[in-house]
């Protein structure tokens, strides 16, 4: 092989080597992805409590019902459950409610219900719990009349939390 051919082949091989080792100019694209985790605050009740009390003149009497349960799901921390009546109770009658607290939460015990919300369970945090106990209490004071009956809508609400 002549030196001219050798030089030409060497130059060609060197050019191929340099071209093969050069970085490739690739294309890139950037995309911004938006994300959000929404709050979940769900509450449900089941059952049909019925309360009947025998009023005794001069005494306050009461009866309770455990014929209802409640369930809650939240992905927040520090939420609370409140309850309120849609309309006031008749004179001489009070309706109270206690909710069993799910794990990590705190029940406030038996609370008299009115048209303003009262706290029943506090510190409800990141959980899903079902079929928790509810206790209703109907109390008749000495001011109640005879043959008083009716129904009341009780609204339970889960609020707060972060």
Q: What average pLDDT does this structure show over 28-47?
A: 95
Residues 118, 162: Cα–Cα separation, whole Å? 20
Residue 81 β-bridge partners: 121, 158
Residues 6+ apart with CB under 8 A from 82: 117, 118, 119, 120, 156, 157, 159
* DSSP annotation of 102: P
Q: Which strands form 93-99's sheet, in the order they lie side by side?
A: 41-47, 61-74, 127-140, 93-99, 111-112
Residues 91, 101: Cα–Cα separation, whole Å? 31
Cα 137 to Cα 57, 110, 144, distances in angstroms: 19, 8, 16
Q: What average pLDDT does this structure show over 128-134?
A: 98
| Span 60-114, pLDDT tens digits | 999 999 999 999 999 999 999 999 999 999 998 999 999 999 999 999 999 999 9
| Span 4-19, pLDDT tens digits | 555 555 555 555 555 5
Provide the CATH number for the domain formed by 41-160 in this structure.
Answer: 2.60.40
User: Which has the closest alpha carbon to 109: 117, 97, 126, 91?
Assistant: 97
Element (H, E) at 31: none
At which residue do the structure tokens 């059952």 appear?
A: 47
Report residue 46: phi and psi, to 5°: -145, 160
């Amino acid at each position: 092989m002549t030196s001219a051919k050798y030089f030409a082949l060497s130059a060609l091989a060197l050019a191929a080597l340099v071209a093969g080792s050069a970085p490739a100019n690739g294309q890139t694209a950037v995309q911004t992805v938006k994300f959000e985790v929404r709050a979940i605050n769900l509450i449900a009740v089941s059952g049909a409590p019925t309360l009947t009390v025998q009023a005794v003149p001069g005494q306050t009497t009461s009866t309770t019902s455990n014929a209802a349960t409640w369930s809650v799901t939240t992905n927040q921390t520090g939420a609370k459950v409140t309850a309120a009546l849609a309309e006031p109770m008749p004179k001489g009658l009070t309706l109270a409610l206690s909710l069993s607290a799910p794990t990590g939460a705190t029940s406030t015990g038996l609370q008299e219900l009115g048209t303003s919300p009262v706290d029943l369970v506090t510190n409800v945090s990141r959980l899903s719990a079902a079929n928790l106990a509810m206790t209703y209490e109907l109390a008749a004071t000495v001011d109640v009349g005879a043959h008083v009956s009716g129904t009341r809508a009780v609204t339970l609400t889960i609020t707060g939390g972060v």
